[in-house]
């Protein structure tokens, strides 16, 4: 401790923290990667419930039942699951059959080349895309689900509302009119030529009316005397020409309920979504303060669930962005960007902005020009597709998604949930390329469905063959079954692998008791949400499975489905052949390594060595008191911190622990004796 005696007389004090300890923190996050119908591609998302899971990554379908329900089942035991969506977004323009594409909003189908260039995998990749002029909007995420979307953009007062006159010019008779009849959902438009007009005159006038009316537009009918009613247009019929008169029908989604007929020589038309915004687009306060104060910069954007795939209700409104701006530098009063592309990109759950919409150009407020939009632009999203399912997607695509869990520095996860049970390739990748590399997580593996579902007596042989194809490691655990469960999203029953449940049981046991407690058995090994299991092995089969490091799950009368095993895939007699021991050492390694980082760049002397011992001792003592270990010792002194270690700028701490063992078998002996026997004479003879 340095002092400075050259100061003026005074008392100086400081604090030195010698209380550093290791906090016993156990993480129970799961991780899964695979095929999903919605959500960002190749980006980790932390999910806390099945409701959020379905909202972010879509409901399950025939494309991904095993993957989806493996994640959902884990969430019934834990509230922390990292999910990464895998998708093959790379295709050739002449063949995109197996490619996952993003639905685009366009007035016409776009080419495969444009479609491939419009795929937004996640927010990070959005900035790298230069959208074609034909693509003003794309669905937020790739996949067929985006085809359910529709978008409507109103960027001018004319697009918001207009009085459509039937008397186009002096060649059209003032007697031309539209007639609305009470109880009818059809209005009849009649356009008659004047004395100077002819058939071509009424044809041209009818075309103008047709151009101004679009299915979805709303018409206001009535007057102050009889009241008014709004009717939504469903179709505009073609004009029938008889002589110099054109007749056309306009149909509505409902009938006129006013008590008398209405006749008018004009049609008052409104934008389909006029009633969900405050009024026609106008000049924003931001624009009005510039030296270009009269240009209408505001626009309204409405996003609709056209097919009801998101909400269950066709044409339900999903999002409304009212009075956003075409000005790239526009701001709201609180300083937030009001530029419509920023508003969509930052807050919409369904849509990315693409190229500028035709006639609705963007720019800085001072240089903005008036919009050219006589009608609102309403477009359906199309051409989104899902590509391959969980059984056919290439392993390389799955590996790219799983690789986001490779680094322990970037993400904490305790369990790698295999999901769709394929051949041994994916399982060995999770073991060899992630779990063994990180050494702080466990891969939870299930066999292929064909091994146990309708296997007709070949279950044991199939399971043993699968296990022997896997890499031996203490960082993985293999279960033995599939469960039959109800899919409420599709009203069907499905066979689902148990990797999600086993990982969930591990997480539940670790958080509810301790990671060094075995997850198996009646107390902690119960499987949830199970109608039945594919196979219930008898005792000889269970013995054979256990010898091969396969953990049996089977139905126990009165108990339900139970995990009756806690073996890792280490493949030899070792303390690490049990998952509770492996989890104990993961906990010790993770916590002690993290705490030891505080000693980096300190001086390696007796003080630092004692500090290390004092830091580790409380953790080990606590675990011993909670039955995790039976004995321990810490060596950190001159015995392992030799002069050579110190001269090489190193520091050594050796921790020896004797882990507690779980009970896997119970032997009960019952002996009958003669009347009057002294039990002390016979105890110990059997």
- Pairing type for strands 245-252 and 161-165 reads unpaired
671 falls in which pLDDT band (50, 70, 90)?
low
pLDDT value of residue 27: 73
Decide if 93 contacts 111 (C-beta within 8 A). yes
- Residue 223 pLDDT greater than 60, yes or no: yes
In 3-state terms, what secondary structure has residue 152? strand
Alpha-carbon distance of 270 to 51, in angstroms, equals 38
* Same domain assignment for residues 207 and 162: yes
210 φ, ψ (degrees, to nearest 5): -60, -40
Structural domain includes residue 112: no
- pTM of the entire predicted model: 0.88
In angstroms, rounded to a whole number, what is the distance separating the alpha carbons of residues 149 and 314?
10
Listing from the earlier edge strand, what are the strands of the sheet with 482-487?
Answer: 492-497, 482-487, 532-533
- Say if residue 419 is in the same domain as residue 472: yes
pLDDT at 591: 87
| Beta carbons of 170 and 214 less than 8 angstroms apart | no
CB atoms inside a 10 Å sphere around CB 495? 18
Residue 235 CA to its chain's centroid (Å): 38
Mean pLDDT of the chain: 92
More confident residue, 121 or 27: 121
For the chain, the first-to-last Cα distance in angstroms comes to 68
How far is residue 45's CA from residue 65's CA, in Å, rounded to a whole number?
19
Cα separation, 345 vs 352, in Å, equals 5
Same domain for 430 and 304: no
Residue owning tokens 């492996």 = 582
The answer to whether the CB of 412 falls within 8 A of the CB of 439 is: no
Same domain membership, residue 616 and residue 682:
yes
User: Could you say which of 274, 295, 323 is where a domain stops?
Assistant: 274
The secondary structure element, H or E, covering residue 125 is helix 123-126
The pLDDT of residue 372? 93
Listed residues 258, 274, 290: the one ending a domain:
274
* Residue 633 bridge partners (DSSP): 656
137 within domain boundaries: no
Summarised one tens digit per residue, pLDDT across range 312-321 is 999 999 999 9
Check pLDDT > 50 for residue 494.
yes
Q: How far apart are CA 507 and CA 530, in angstroms?
A: 19
Strand, helix or coil at 168? coil
pLDDT of 133: 93
In the chain, the number of structural domains is 4
Residue 140 in any domain: the answer is no
CATH number at residue 517: 3.40.50.11780
Q: Is there a single domain that holds both residue 493 and residue 442?
A: yes
pLDDT in tens, 99-152: 999 999 988 889 999 999 999 999 999 999 999 999 999 999 999 999 999 999
Confidence at residue 18, expressed as pLDDT on a 0 to 100 scale: 47
CA distance 630 to 621: 10
User: Which band of pLDDT confidence, cut at 50, 70 and 90, is reported for residue 2?
Assistant: very low
Quick: pLDDT tens for 154-213: 999 999 999 999 998 889 999 999 999 999 999 999 999 998 889 999 999 999 999 999
The widest CA-to-CA distance across the chain, in whole angstroms, is 133
Closest by alpha carbon to 156, among 298, 273, 269? 298
- Domain membership of residue 206 (yes or no) is yes
The secondary structure of 198-227, three-state, reads CHHHHHHHHHHHHHHCCCCCEEEEEECCCE
User: Does 556 lie in the same domain as 624?
Assistant: no
Q: Are residues 433 and 555 in the same domain?
A: yes
**354 has pLDDT over 70:** yes
141-171 burial, b if ≥16 CB within 10 A, otherwise e?
Answer: bbbbbbbbbbbbbbbbbbbbbbebbbbbeeb
- Residue 22 in domain: no
Q: Say yes or no to pLDDT of 16 above 80.
A: no
72: closest CA among 85, 60, 87, 61? 60
Q: Sign of dihedral through CA atoms 611, 612, 614, 615?
A: positive
d(Cα 241, Cα 201) in Å, to the nearest integer? Answer: 11
Nearest to 475 by CA among 441, 516, 498: 441
Q: Is the pLDDT of residue 6 over 60?
A: no
Span 72-94, pLDDT tens digits: 999 999 999 999 999 999 988 88
Residue 252 and residue 176 share a domain: yes
In a domain, 391, yes or no: no
Give the pLDDT of residue 108. Answer: 83
From residue 578, give the alpha-carbon distance in Å to each of 417, 462, 520, 539, 660: 18, 23, 11, 20, 10
Q: What range defines the domain where residue 554 resides? A: 30-86+396-580
Instruction: Say yes or no: 560 and 650 in one domain.
Output: no
* pLDDT score at 652: 92
In this structure, are 650 and 623 located in the same domain? yes
User: pLDDT band at residue 663, thresholds of 50, 70 and 90?
Assistant: low
Burial class (CB in 10 A: 0-12, 13-18, 19+), 136: buried
What gap in Å lies between CA 446 and CA 345, rounded to an integer? 39
Q: Which of 547, 553, 511, 550 is nearest to 528 (CA)?
A: 553
pLDDT in tens, 378-417: 999 999 999 999 999 999 999 999 999 999 999 999 999 9
578 CB-near residues (< 8 Å, 6+ apart)? 518, 566, 567, 568, 661, 662
The reply to whether 15 falls in a domain is no
Are residue 456 and residue 560 in the same domain, yes or no?
yes
Residue 268 in domain = yes
Domain match, 213 and 184 both: yes
């Amino acid at each position: 401790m340095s002092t400075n005696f050259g100061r003026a007389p005074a008392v100086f004090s400081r604090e030195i923290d010698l209380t550093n300890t290791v906090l016993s923190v156990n993480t129970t996050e799961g991780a899964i990667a695979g095929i999903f119908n919605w959500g960002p591609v190749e980006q980790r998302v932390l999910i806390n419930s099945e409701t959020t899971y379905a909202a972010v990554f879509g409901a399950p379908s025939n494309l991904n039942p095993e993957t989806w329900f493996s994640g959902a089942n884990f969430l019934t035991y834990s509230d922390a699951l990292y999910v990464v969506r895998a998708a093959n977004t790379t295709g050739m323009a002449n063949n995109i059959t197996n490619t996952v594409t993003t639905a685009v909003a366009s007035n016409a189908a776009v080419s495969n080349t444009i479609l491939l260039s419009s795929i937004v995998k996640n927010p990070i990749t959005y900035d790298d895309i230069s959208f074609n002029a034909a693509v003003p909007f794309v669905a937020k995420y790739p996949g067929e689900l985006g085809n359910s979307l529709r978008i409507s953009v109103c960027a001018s007062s004319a697009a918001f509302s207009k009085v459509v006159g039937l008397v186009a010019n002096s060649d059209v008779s003032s007697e031309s009119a539209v007639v609305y009849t009470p109880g009818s959902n059809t209005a009849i438009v009649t356009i008659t030529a004047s004395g100077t007009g002819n058939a071509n005159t009424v044809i041209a006038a009818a075309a103008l009316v047709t151009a101004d009316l679009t299915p979805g537009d709303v018409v206001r009918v009535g007057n102050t005397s009889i009241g008014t009613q709004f009717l939504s247009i469903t179709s505009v019929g073609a004009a029938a020409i008889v002589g110099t008169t054109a007749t056309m029908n306009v149909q509505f989604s409902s009938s006129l309920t006013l008590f008398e007929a209405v006749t008018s020589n004009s049609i008052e038309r409104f934008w389909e979504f006029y009633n969900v915004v405050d009024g026609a687009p106008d000049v924003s306060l931001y624009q009005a303060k510039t030296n270009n104060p009269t240009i209408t910069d505001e626009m309204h954007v409405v996003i609709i669930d056209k097919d009801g795939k998101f909400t269950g209700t066709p044409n339900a409104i999903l999002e409304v962005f009212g009075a956003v701006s075409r000005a790239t530098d526009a701001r709201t009063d609180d300083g937030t960007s009001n530029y419509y592309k920023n508003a969509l990109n930052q807050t919409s759950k369904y849509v990315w902005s693409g190229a500028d919409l035709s006639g609705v150009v963007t720019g800085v407020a001072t240089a903005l020009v008036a919009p050219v939009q006589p009608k609102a632009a309403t477009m359906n999203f199309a051409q989104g597709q899902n590509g391959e399912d969980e059984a056919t997607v290439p392993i390389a695509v799955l590996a790219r998604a799983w690789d986001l869990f490779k680094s322990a520095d970037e993400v904490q996860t305790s369990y790698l949930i295999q999901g769709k049970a394929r051949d041994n390739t994916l399982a060995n990748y999770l073991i060899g390329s992630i779990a063994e590399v990180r050494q702080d997580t466990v891969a939870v593996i299930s066999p292929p469905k064909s091994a146990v579902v309708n296997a007709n007596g070949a279950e044991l042989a199939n399971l043993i063959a699968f296990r022997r194809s896997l890499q031996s490691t203490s960082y993985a655990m293999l279960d033995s079954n599939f469960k039959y469960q109800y899919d409420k999203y599709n009203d069907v029953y499905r066979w689902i692998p148990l990797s999600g449940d086993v990982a969930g049981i591990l997480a539940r046991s670790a958080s509810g008791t301790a990671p060094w407690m075995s997850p198996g058995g009646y107390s902690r090994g119960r499987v949830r949400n199970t109608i039945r299991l594919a196979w219930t092995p008898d005792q000889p089969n269970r013995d054979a499975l256990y010898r091969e490091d396969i953990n049996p799950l089977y139905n126990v009368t009165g108990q339900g489905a139970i995990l009756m095993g806690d073996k890792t895939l280490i493949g030899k007699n070792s303390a690490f052949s049990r998952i509770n021991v492996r989890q104990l050492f993961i906990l010790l390694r993770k916590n002690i390594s993290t705490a030891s980082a505080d000693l980096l760049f300190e001086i390696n002397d007796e003080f630092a060595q004692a500090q290390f011992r004092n830091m580790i001792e409380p953790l080990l003592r606590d675990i011993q008191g909670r039955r995790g270990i039976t004995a321990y010792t810490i060596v950190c002194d001159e015995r392992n911190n030799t002069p050579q270690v110190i001269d090489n700028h190193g520091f050594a701490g050796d921790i020896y622990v004797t882990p507690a063992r779980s009970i896997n078998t119970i032997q009960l002996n019952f002996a009958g004796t003669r009347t009057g026997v002294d039990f002390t004479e016979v105890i110990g003879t059997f």
